[in-house]
Each structure stands twice: as C-alpha cells, then as structure tokens.
C-alpha cells in the first residue's frame, strides 16, 4: 500500500494532530468516550476522529466504532468535514457526519476553540450479530457535547434564565441566581451567544453495510430488495421479500431497472459516453495484461490501445461488448444488444439522478470491478482489498493513472462520470396496475 499512501490515494486528506493542546483535548474526549488514552505526540484523524496510528497503538481499529454500529466521533476542528471516513461499516456515516458539521459549523467552531466535541451516531441497534438486526435500523440521530458538558450546561442555563424572567419571585431566589452565575462561568453569556447544536435525525431506508461480507439494503424503493456481496444464505430469514447475491446478475439488473435506479451511459446527458467507454476498455486491457504477465510500467493510453489492437482476439467478452457500444456512440457501427446476461452489462450503466445515486454507483462498482477508476471513487474499501492481490505491474499502472488523471481534478472527474446536468422535469409515473405490481418484479415467491 506504500505507493498509494505516497501518492495521497490512501489516508489522503486526513487531519494532522500535532500540537500538545490538541492532543490533550483528543485524549480528554477519548477517555470520556472509551476510557482509553493515547501516548502519541502526533497522529492523523479522519472525519470521525478515528486515527489509524492510535488504532495501531491500542490494537483496536474499532475503538470509536464498537461492534461496528453506533459510531462515536471526536471533533477537534470543523476542517474535519473534508476528511474521509476510514473503516466505514455503513455507507451513510460520512454523509451524516459532514452534514452535522456543516449545519452546526459556527457553534462547533466556537466549541472546538476551547475543547473537543465528542458524540455518537445513535440508533436502536447496539450489535448486528443477528442479520435481522440490520433491518431494525430506521433512523440515526446525533448526540454530541464537549468533554466538559458545555452544550448540556448551556441548555440548563437557558432554562434557568427563562425561569428567572418568567417566575414571579425568581428575583428573590438566591439559590437560582447563584446557580446561574456558577454555570455561566463555564458557558459564557448564552443569551447573546447561544450554545446549542441542532437536533438532527436521519432516515435510513437505503444503505450499504460491511457486515456479513457486504450487504446493500434497499427499502425505500417501489420494489425492495437486499443484495449480498457474500453468501446470501448466511442472512437467513430476514424481513425483506427478495435477497440476491452478486451471481444473480439478471435479477439485480431487473431490480435496478424496475426501480429506475440506473441509466445507460450512452443515454446520459452532457457527457462524452464514447470516451468513458474507451477508458473502461483500457482498464480491461490492463487486467488482461496482468494475467499475461506483461510489464505496463509507464504505459500511456496510446500504449494500452496499441496493445489492445495487437491482442484483440485474446481480450475478454467485456472488452468486445464495450468496443461495439463505443463504436455505435461514435457513429461508426450498428447498435449492439448488450443484455444483462452480457459480462459488460454493468459497465455500461451509471446511477440515475436520485438521492441514492452514490449507493447505486457503489453497487455498480462492485458488480464491475474491472473499472478501477469507478471502484476507487465509489467503493474504496473494495478497491484496497483487491489492490493487495494485484501484480506489481497492475499496481504501478493503476497508481500512476489515478495520480495523473484523477487526483489533479477530483471534482471534475466525478462530475464528468456521475454528474447529472439538465435533468428533465417530469411528473412521477402513475402506479402500475399490472402483474409486476401484484406479485412483485421477480414472480411469485414460494412459501
């Protein structure tokens, strides 16, 4: 992984904690949340305050994520909002943390000037040893305060101020006045400078979890289903009608289509579909070259395409399918029929414009891992796992490509691949009164 780290492709954008004051605040929060403490003088943290160096020191990389649920967090600075989330067990956690920081940025900035803010992403589930517990996760709310309880004290002081203003004899209540003065010494003037974090709650209908080998749960769609990266039988009897594994490509394709979750790249607005398809073809050539033991060190896009032309007959079906589709997109060939049974099918899709497009692009990356750029952008944990098994030739090419063509303009690359422009304004389709609506999109289920 050294090459990835050196190029900023792994552990990139982490926040460096190197001042004694910040380390001391971090330790106060760490003791408050976990009872543990670090002896390190400097380390790096992600958006949640998790540090890989501290994890190594403690021998516990889940020290802020016990049982992989109800993730705890430590905020030393609002700049953590741009950091990644490492060792994610749920796909929604980073988005929730970022939104919490952005919605409370002014308050958190003031609080972090004097103390660390610690908290937890709370739901009703405390362990997921039973797969059915995953389906009990419905909402996530955030609890947060400084290690000195500033937010709690501020709320208490605000209540006392209200009593002082409204109760008839409060002016003569020496105990109340003394208590107000004591709390105000810790919180400051909460009337002029309120210290309050917004109560935030997040609906969890569709999400990915790393538990049980990786499971995508879609409940907030017309035809709900769960899709397993591992063996679906290990889920057992779960409260959702349809459960697929990655080998059931036809059924997954039908699920995505019926719920309007994907669109063909060739029909997407405002993108160069042919260029995207040609780049995917290059990745397939690199994969084939790895299997053939070829050295691709320093190979350019031109070198890869010369290699493809020279060895076209030995390239897999995915390459030929994308080649036919790219030729059609460039006006150089007939329309090729690429059904869900074709190995290239999921390489021809991207998420449609909806709230769960990141989750769907993550699923597509897992269904078509040959596209190493989409895999890196949309599913980093799987990318790192697969990277460890690649040859040095492929590792070298992939790192060089991502550094040269993705790192220089991350936002632009993501927008070109997954952004949606000029989306049409359409009325929602009326409910369907047909066989699909009555028995489900995959037919009747045997009891």
Mean pLDDT of the chain, nearest integer: 86
What are the boundaries of each domain within the chain?
2-149+196-203, 212-418
How does pLDDT run across 194-244, given as a tens digit for each residue?
567 888 899 999 999 999 999 999 999 999 999 999 899 989 999 998 999
Q: Which range (204-208, 337-341, 443-447) has the least confidence? A: 443-447
Decide if 213 contacts 201 (C-beta within 8 A): no
pTM of the model: 0.84
The DSSP output letter for 203 is E
To the nearest 10°, report the CA torsion of 316, 320, 325, 327.
140
Residues above pLDDT 90, as percent of the chain: 56
Q: Is the pLDDT of residue 137 over 80?
A: yes
Cβ partners under 8 Å of residue 348, min gap 6 = 264, 265, 266, 277, 321, 322, 325, 338
Dihedrals φ, ψ of 313, to 5°?
-65, -20
Name the token pair of 419. Answer: 């952004």
User: Average of pLDDT values for 54-62?
Assistant: 96
Cβ partners under 8 Å of residue 76, min gap 6 = 15, 17, 22, 25, 26, 45, 49, 112, 116
Query: Which of 6, 8, 75 is CA-nearest to residue 45?
Result: 75
User: Average of pLDDT values for 286-304?
Assistant: 79
What is the per-residue pLDDT for 176? Answer: 67
Decide if 69 contacts 93 (C-beta within 8 A): no
Decide if 38 contacts 26 (C-beta within 8 A): yes
Q: How many other β-carbons are positioned within 10 Å of the β-carbon of residue 330?
A: 13
Q: Which range (166-170, 288-292, 363-367) has the least confidence? A: 166-170
How many Å apart are CA 366 and CA 382, to the nearest integer?
Answer: 8
- CA 267 to chain centroid: 26
How many Å apart are CA 1 and CA 251, to the nearest integer?
Answer: 36
């Amino acid at each position: 992984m050294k090459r990835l780290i050196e190029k900023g492709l792994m552990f990139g954008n982490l926040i460096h904690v190197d001042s004694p004051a910040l380390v001391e605040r971090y330790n106060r929060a760490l003791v408050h949340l976990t009872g543990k403490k670090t002896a390190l003088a400097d380390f790096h943290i992600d958006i949640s305050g998790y540090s890989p160096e501290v994890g190594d020191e403690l021998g516990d990389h889940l020290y802020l994520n016990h049982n992989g649920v109800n993730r705890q967090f430590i905020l030393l600075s609002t700049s953590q909002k741009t950091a990644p989330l490492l060792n994610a067990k749920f796909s929604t956690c980073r988005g929730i943390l970022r939104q919490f920081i952005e919605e409370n940025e002014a308050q958190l900035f003031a609080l972090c000037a004097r103390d660390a803010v610690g908290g937890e992403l709370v739901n009703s589930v405390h362990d997921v040893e039973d797969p059915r517990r995953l389906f009990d996760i419905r909402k996530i709310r955030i609890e947060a305060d400084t290690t000195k309880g500033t937010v709690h004290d501020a709320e208490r002081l605000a209540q006392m101020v209200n009593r002082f203003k409204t109760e008839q004899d409060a002016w003569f209540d020496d105990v109340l006045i003394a208590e107000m003065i004591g709390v105000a010494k810790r919180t400051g003037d909460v009337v002029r400078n309120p210290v309050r974090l917004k109560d935030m709650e997040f609906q969890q209908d569709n999400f990915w979890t790393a538990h049980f080998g990786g499971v995508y749960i879609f409940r907030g769609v017309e035809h709900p289903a769960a899709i397993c990266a591992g063996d679906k039988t290990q889920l057992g009897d779960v409260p959702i009608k349809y459960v697929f594994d990655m080998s059931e490509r036809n059924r997954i394709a039908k699920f995505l289509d019926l719920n309007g979750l994907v669109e063909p790249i060739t029909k997407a607005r405002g993108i160069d579909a042919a260029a995207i398809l040609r780049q995917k073809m290059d990745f397939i050539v690199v994969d084939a070259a790895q299997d053939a033991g070829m050295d691709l060190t320093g190979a350019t896009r031109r070198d890869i395409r010369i290699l493809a032309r020279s060895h076209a007959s030995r390239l897999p079906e995915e390459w030929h399918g994308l080649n036919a589709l790219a030729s059609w997109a460039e006006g150089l060939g007939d329309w090729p029929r690429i059904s869900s049974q074709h190995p290239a099918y999921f390489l021809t899709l991207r998420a449609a414009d909806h709230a769960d497009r990141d989750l769907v692009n993550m699923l597509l990356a897992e269904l078509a891992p040959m596209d190493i750029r989409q895999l890196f952008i949309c599913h980093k944990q799987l990318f790192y796992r697969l990277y460890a098994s690649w040859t040095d030739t492929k590792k070298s090419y992939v790192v060089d490509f991502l550094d040269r063509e993705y790192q220089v303009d991350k936002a632009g690359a993501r927008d070109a691949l997954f952004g949606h422009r000029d989306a049409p304004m359409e009325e929602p389709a009326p409910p369907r009164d047909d066989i699909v609506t009555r028995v489900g999109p995959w037919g009747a289920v045997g009891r």
